[in-house]
Amino acid sequence: MSDHAPAAGLTLTRRILILMAVMLASTLYSTTLLIASTLLPQMQGALAATPDEIAWVMTFNILATAVVTPMTGWLVGRFGRRNVMLGSILGFSVATYFCGDADSLAALVFWRIVQGGAGAPVVPLSNAIVIDSFPRRQTGLVSSIFGMAVVIGPVIGPTLGGYLADEYSWRWAFYMLVPVGLASLVGLRLTLSADRPEAPVRLDWIGFLTLAVAMSCVQLVLSRGQRLDWFESNEIVLETIGAGVAFYLFIAHSLTARRPFLNLRLLLDRNYAIGLVLVTIYGMLNFTPVVLLPPLLQQHAGYPDNIIGAILGMRGIGATIGFFLAMFAGRLEPRIGMTIGFGIMAISGLWLMSLNLDVDMSTLAANSILQGMAVGIIWVPLTVTAFATLDTRHTPEAMALFHLLRNIGSSFFISICVAEIVRTTGENYSRMTEMVSPYHKSLSLPWVMGGWSMDSLQGLVRLAKEINRQAAMIGYVNAFALYTATSVAAIAVVVFAKKRQRVAVAAE
């Protein structure tokens, strides 16, 4: 095959510099995906937020990324690839600074939304730039090198962010990314060739806005429902109605418009439809432990931020191992690879369900590596399966929907798990405190009470804290049970996919 046209006029040095610049940009973006999760406990205390409120820092960032990602093609057609990359990195860096400078939860969530929306085009555009900058015969090699940038970020982010948060404050974990963002901006400005906007691409604003409203309303319902007592709240009722109406308008418009925002007719391809279900589940499982573990470990198990960051960083090492295993397993039927990957996720979930508040770091690190391995193993056969029978003409818009559902799955499932933790913690705390009474005969026995006491106010306070710890642990175990059950359900979905007919390469 002939080389890519854009690569023909580039020297080897220029190509390497482009690769380094876009890798830096992608590493910067992928770093922020996990760095915020390490900081959740500190941010919760500093901003006086509840566990379900502080989870908005992650969920609304993911949601903003999901909404803006399908707009990448329209942005490139309107402003040009180079301008979109530079604008994205600049907006991302500015938003990152203001995340660190936020003095309220509302301000932090707002700037995290801006950060996610501004950075959304970075990874897909970086991948396209790398492929177009090198000859076609080198696409596999440079795609693998570029893929490492997406894996390295989740290793660096939690480890360094946890250290800075422990030594200084959570704000410095955001501040440290700003100089890197500016360096990436300069590198991209010097290496990327100026390009003219392509033929203007019409954006289906009705489809885009109705989908954005529907997803935002659902996210608000899931994030605020438990705290507002669900449908006892007028706000939750209105948001549910808004989500239903907006989603209906989106479906109706998408099926009747000549050029819809997302082409729902692609769902007629069986493998692609199953691939969308699987990538949604993949998104649900990918970041959920990353959001749930830091508050559990810091608030209830007494782990410092730097250790939590190191534990989360192990996922990146596991993901690297998983990607290498996926390369060697490429000769196998993709359904086998996905079954193995989701099976490993189920095992890691069962392992998490067996933990208690005395868990040691080595156990957590090993489990984190296992989660990362599953993520790395699943991705390649999942993309191969989803696009194996789809006409290549539809790949760009099909890929947009593919990544959209992955991000939506993450955002929604995190909110569901956090709501379950809050609900279960409250219920179990009430039930267990009912048993604490001087008239309870068992509690009068010294070997039952141990170091606990009901004879003083201080003793009751200590006992109440311990009951809250144990009640919260039950809530987290229930959330990990949801994680495990979803992993098993994915295995059941995998068997309905058709065998591979052709190979399709897609990068995360």
Fold category of 264-434+450-508 in CATH: Growth Hormone; Chain: A; (1.20.1250)
- Cα end-to-end span (Å), the chain: 24
pLDDT surpassing 70 at residue 3: no
pLDDT digits 0-9 by tens, 373-405: 998 888 878 888 887 787 767 776 777 778 778
> What CA–CA distance (Å, rounded) separates 54 from 44?
6
Angle at 354 between CA 351 and CA 355, to 5 degrees: 95
Kindly state the average pLDDT of the residues 209-227. Answer: 84
3-state secondary structure labels for all residues of 72-116: HHHHHHHHCHHHHHHHHHHHHHHHHHHHHHCCCHHHHHHHHHHHH
Confidence (pLDDT) at 342: 94
Q: Are 323 and 373 in contact (CB under 8 A)?
A: no
Confidence (pLDDT) at 238: 94
User: Which of residues 331 and 279 earns the better pLDDT score?
Assistant: 279
Confidence (pLDDT) at 242: 94
Q: Are 74 and 397 in contact (CB under 8 A)?
A: no
Share of the chain above pLDDT 70, in %: 86
> What CA–CA distance (Å, rounded) separates 416 from 426?
16
> What CA–CA distance (Å, rounded) separates 71 from 168?
38
Query: Among the ranges 77-81, 182-186, 196-200, 465-469, which has the highest mean pLDDT value?
Result: 182-186
Q: Tokens 């990195």 map to which residue?
A: 89
> What CA–CA distance (Å, rounded) separates 365 from 361?
6
Integer CA distances (angstroms), 257 to 249, 264, 424, in order? 11, 11, 45
Fold category of 1-202 in CATH: Growth Hormone; Chain: A; (1.20.1250)
Query: Among the ranges 81-90, 200-209, 302-311, which has the highest mean pLDDT value?
Result: 81-90
Q: Tokens 């392509």 map to which residue?
A: 198
By C-alpha distance, which of 85, 91, 89 is closest to 124?
85
Confidence (pLDDT) at 449: 62
pLDDT surpassing 70 at residue 9: no
DSSP state letter for 450:
T
Q: Tokens 């996720």 map to which residue?
A: 345
Ranges assigned E (strand) in 166-219 = none
Q: How far is Cα of residue 323 from the mean position of the Cα atoms in its chain?
A: 18
User: Which of residues 149 and 313 earns the better pLDDT score?
Assistant: 313
Kindly state the average pLDDT of the residues 242-260. Answer: 90
> What CA–CA distance (Å, rounded) separates 316 from 368?
9
Confidence (pLDDT) at 381: 83
At residue 58 the predicted structure's pLDDT band, cuts being 50, 70 and 90, is: confident
Q: Which residues of 345-363 are buried (b: 16+ CB within 10 A; e: fewer)?
A: bbbbbebbeebeeebeeee
Confidence (pLDDT) at 199: 60
pLDDT digits 0-9 by tens, 155-211: 677 777 777 777 888 888 888 889 988 998 998 888 888 777 666 667 788 988 898
Confidence (pLDDT) at 50: 79
Query: What's the number of CA atoms in the CB half-sphere (13 Å) around residue 154?
Result: 25
Confidence (pLDDT) at 367: 93
Q: Quick one: tokens of 209?
A: 């806005």
Residue 341: what residue type? G
Q: Are 154 and 313 in contact (CB under 8 A)?
A: yes
Predicted TM-score (pTM) of this structure = 0.78
Confidence (pLDDT) at 474: 93
DSSP state letter for 264:
G
